[in-house]
Amino acid sequence: MKQFISVSDVPDIDAMVQKALAYKADPFKDRTLGRDKRIGCLFLNPSMRTRLSTQIAAQQLGMETIIFNVGSEGWSLEFEEEAIMSGSSVEHVKDAAPIMGKYFDILAIRTFPSLKNREDDYSELFIKQFIKYAGIPVVSLESATLHPLQSLTDIITIEEENQKLKKGNNKLKIVLTWAPHVKPLPQCVANSFCQWINKWGKADFVITFPEDYELSEQFTRGATVTHDQDEALKNADFVYVKNWSTYTDYGKIYCNDPEWMLTNEKLQLSNNAKVMHCLPVRRNVELSDEVLDGPNSLVTQEAGNRVWAAQAVLSEILKPTM
C-alpha cells in the first residue's frame, strides 16, 4: 500500500480488519517491521485519539515517531500553486513537504476543512499537496472530507461485535444517525463511514438526518436515506451517532432539534443496537449520558481499536514489496 487516504487505497477491507484483529491479539508480533524507520505525524488541527493511537501503533511496529503540531508550533503553510506569498503564510508546502520526505519514511497528516468554501474543502488540496511534494507514503489522520482510520476502526469494532451476535446469513442493519451539536462540524466522519460501509457491502445501511443535512451522494450512494429517525432505528443492530454541518448550503447549522439526540427510549426501537460514536462527544447534546454509560455503548472499545487500525495500515505500508 502506497498511501492511506480513503477506502480506495484498501483492496480488501476484510483482510485489513483481520490484520488489525491479529494485532489486537498479539500487539508486538511485528515489533521489528518498522525498525530504523521514522513516521512524522503532522497536526494542523487538534487530536487526542488519532495522535496517541497512531504513535502507539508505530511504536509497536518498532518505528520512531515525531509529532509536529504544525498548526500551533510550525510556520504557517501556503498550499496554493503560484501563490504570491505576501500574506500571513510563511512557507510553501512545495518547500516544506520535500524536506519532510527526507526526514521521514511515512508522513501522517491531520488537516480539517475550513467549512467556508465547499469546493476548496472537497478538493482536498492540503493532503494532495503533501502527497505531491513529500515523495513518501502519506497517511490521512483525517482530512477535509474523510477520516479513513476512524472508518476502518468502526468496521473492526462492528466485526468484533458481529461475531458475538451470530446473525448467521441474516444481514446486519447499520444506521448512521445525525445528532445535534453546538458548533458546525465537518462531514468527514459521516462521509467516510458511508464510503466504507457501502464498499464493505455486508450490511443493510440506513442514513437518517433532518431535512437540509444531506451528505454528498458520492458517499451515500447505495444506502437507504430517510428523514424519519424512528423508522430508521427499527431493528437496527448498530447505531452510529454523529453530527455534521450542512453540505448544500455549506458548513451551516440549520435545524438543531434536540429530539434527534439518541436516548434509551429511542434505542428501544432497535434490535438492542450497539451504539457507536467516533468521540469526542457532547454529552446530553449528541448522546444522552444513559446511552453513553449504558451496556449498549461501544465508544471506549471503538476508540481503543484505533490502535489496531493504525497498526494494520502502517504495517501494510511498511511491508516489503517483491
* Inter-CA distances, 49 with 53, 71, 260, 261, Å: 6, 17, 26, 23
Query: Using the rule CB under 6 A, is 139 a contact of ligand CP?
Result: no
Task: Report how far residue 148's alpha carbon sits from residue 154's, in angstroms, rounded to the nearest whole number.
Answer: 10
106-110 sheet: strands from edge to edge: 64-68, 38-43, 106-110, 138-140
By beta carbon distance, the residue nearest ligand CP is: 50
Task: Report how far residue 229's alpha carbon sits from residue 212's, in angstroms, rounded to the nearest whole number.
Answer: 14
Query: Using the rule CB under 6 A, is 48 a contact of ligand CP?
Result: yes
Query: Using the rule CB under 6 A, is 300 a contact of ligand CP?
Result: no
Stretch that binds ligand CP, among 45-53, 100-108, 200-208, 216-224 (CB under 6 A): 45-53
Q: Are 174 and 197 in contact (CB under 8 A)?
A: yes
Residue 64: Cβ within 10 Å count: 15
Cβ distance to ligand CP smaller for residue 49 or 173: 49
Stretch that binds ligand CP, among 46-54, 55-63, 67-75, 282-290 (CB under 6 A): 46-54
Q: How many residues bind to ligand CP according to rule CB under 6 A? A: 8
In the complex, the smallest distance separating the C-beta of residue 50 from ligand CP, rounded to whole angstroms, is: 3
Binding mask 232-271 for ligand CP (x = CB under 6 A): ----------------------------------------
* Inter-CA distances, 257 with 179, 186, 207, Å: 9, 18, 17
Q: Which residues pair with 67 in a beta bridge?
A: 41
Cβ distance to ligand CP smaller for residue 156 or 278: 278
Q: Is 166 left (phi over 0), alpha (psi -120 to 50) or beta?
A: left
Query: Using the rule CB under 6 A, is 279 a contact of ligand CP?
Result: yes
**Could you tell me which residues come within 8 angstroms of residue 254 by beta carbon, excluding any fewer than 6 positions away?**
210, 211, 212, 213, 246
Strand, coil or helix: what is 145?
A: coil
Cβ distance to ligand CP smaller for residue 48 or 90: 48
Cβ distance to ligand CP smaller for residue 129 or 151: 151
Cβ distance to ligand CP smaller for residue 78 or 155: 155
Stretch that binds ligand CP, among 47-55, 66-74, 78-86, 132-140 (CB under 6 A): 47-55
Cβ distance to ligand CP smaller for residue 78 or 189: 189
List contacts with ligand CP (CB under 6 A).
Answer: 47-50, 142, 150, 278-279
